Amino acid sequence: MNPGLNNLQPYPFQRMRALFGDAVPNESYAPINLSIGEPKHPTPDLIKNALISELDKLANYPLTKGSDELRNAIAGYLTTRYQLGTINSDSQILPVNGTREALFAIAQCLVEKEAAVLMPNPFYQIYEGAALLAGAQAVYLNTTRENGFLPDIENVSKEQWQQCQLIYLCSPGNPSGTVAPAPLLKRLIELSDLYDFTIVADECYAEIYPTNGTPPVGLLEVAQSIGRSDFRNCLVFHSLSKRSNAPGLRSGFVAGDAKLINSFLQYRTYHGSAMSPPSQHASAIAWQDNAHVIENRRLYTEKFAAVIDILKHDINIVEPDAGFYLWLNLDNRPGDSRSSNKDWQRSDTQFAKQLYQQYNVTVLPGSYLSRKSDGVNPGCGFIRVALVADLEQCVDAAKRIRDCIKQ
Ligand SMILES: Cc1ncc(COP(=O)(O)O)c(C=O)c1O
């Protein structure tokens, strides 16, 4: 048995179910679930039709490397969306079955036992599981209001960098929605030169940003802007799940350093993780279309505006740069003198349970997304609210959250 299995923590949703136990939600309210980051906007017809049109191809084994059609579509997407001169669709792009499996597999491919894998804290749970099952040590970099919800890479010791073989970066971040700015990405690239580690940038929320906002900067365009067309040590992970409301398609890609991509392709050939041919075609169609992405963005922007308007008088909100989560600090309430009192902290778990019982709204306690590091669990006192339901439901849920906060 892989000894890393014993170190895995229960998944946040499992912990949440245990927390709620046999609590009975107030049935005078309709249930609204904003705990899971599962997009609920309809999958565009052009993707569904493309999938159907290629069903005959189920008769063929797919290539792990993916079809030329798909890799070319991804290259087109990357060069249009980002300030990228070129990217080689043959050697610098690899389709994957959603970013989750690829974020996991990349650590198994690149990391040696007992090396260090750095990650933000709170974090997407796969980063930690991937590190532990690779036999590595997970090192948590707290992201807090004080450091702008960004990993403080200047605080990482020389010894830690020397042990580091891979760092996960999530930008836009889950849960805070913070975009890592270009100077931070440049600095990380410099550090990767010094200490030779891979930067794994999870950019799966890169297309969900406010309609009038700036598109989040990406790691590859920053690398190219400093003259590194080979994207050395850099990998970005993208997905159609959030961009195109197709989480069931299981489609994404990895792009960047050709040497790393080549090793990953070899790993994946043995792993047997090729994407089915109809999914490849549907994905190629999706990456080439931007109209549905613009509409998707509009829907999220509308929901953020409405929800923030309802909550802002009772809780100080840090508006996310991007993504579809609100990361609410329950202690941070306008005019509340207790906000600055560290002895008083509203419990995120108690609040989530109360919200469920009294108002039938499900949100995720922040402390379930993070670990104690440097003496604190930076998710404590926060809840993660995924604005995935439709506008009416999000508005309704916001009113119930407000009422629960006021109690
Ligand atoms: C930060 C982050 N990365 C990756 C994923 C995985 O997405 P998928 O496997 O659907 O591409 C998610 C899903 O919620 C996520 O929040």
146 Cα to the center of ligand 1, angstroms: 26
pLDDT at 259: 98
pLDDT at 337: 56
155 Cα to the center of ligand 1, angstroms: 27
């999000």: which residue's tokens? 394
Residue environment code for 198-225, b if the CB has 16+ CB neighbours within 10 A, otherwise e? bbbbbbbbbbbbbeeeeebbbbbbbbbe
136 Cα to the center of ligand 1, angstroms: 22
For residue 240, which atom of ligand 1 is closest to its CA?
11
For residue 252, which atom of ligand 1 is closest to its CA?
11
pLDDT at 336: 65
Tell me which of 38, 96, 236, 239 to substitute to probe ligand 1's pocket, judged by most ligand atoms within 8 Å of the beta carbon.
239
Dump strand ranges (E) for 292-389.
325-329, 361-362, 364-365, 382-386
Tell me which of 36, 40, 43, 100 to substitute to probe ligand 1's pocket, judged by most ligand atoms within 8 Å of the beta carbon.
100
Contact residues of ligand 1, CB 6 A cut-off: 37, 98-100, 124, 170, 174, 202, 204, 239, 241, 247, 252
For residue 251, which atom of ligand 1 is closest to its CA?
11
For residue 103, which atom of ligand 1 is closest to its CA?
4
Neighbours of 133 (CB within 10 A): 18
pLDDT at 334: 77
Tokens of 271: 């792993």
For the chain of 407 residues, list the mean pLDDT of each consecutive stretch of 10. 92 95 95 94 97 96 97 98 94 98 98 97 98 97 96 96 98 98 98 98 98 96 95 98 98 98 98 96 98 97 98 93 96 66 69 97 97 95 96 98 93
The residue ranges of every structural domain in the chain are 3-42+292-406, 45-289
| Minimum CA distance residue for ligand 1 atom 15 | 124
**CA 196/CA 115 separation, integer angstroms:** 12
- The runs of H, that is alpha helices, within 66-180 are 68-81, 99-110, 125-133, 158-163
């989560």: which residue's tokens? 325
Tell me which of 174, 208, 273 to substitute to probe ligand 1's pocket, judged by most ligand atoms within 8 Å of the beta carbon.
174
Q: Cα angle vertex 383, ends 344, 128, to 5°?
A: 110
DSSP for residue 94? E
169 Cα to the center of ligand 1, angstroms: 13
For residue 241, which atom of ligand 1 is closest to its CA?
10
For residue 239, which atom of ligand 1 is closest to its CA?
11
Within the chain, what is the greatest distance between any pair of CA atoms? 66
pLDDT at 151: 97
36 Cα to the center of ligand 1, angstroms: 11
């605080």: which residue's tokens? 155
| DSSP element (H, E) containing 233 | none
Q: Which CATH architecture has domain 45-289?
A: 3-Layer(aba) Sandwich (3.40)
3-42+292-406, which class in CATH? Answer: alpha beta
**If you write DSSP's letter for every residue of 151-185 in order, what string do you get?**
--GGGS-HHHHHHEEEEEEESS-TTT-PPPPHHHH
**Secondary structure tally for the chain: helices H, strands E:** 14, 12
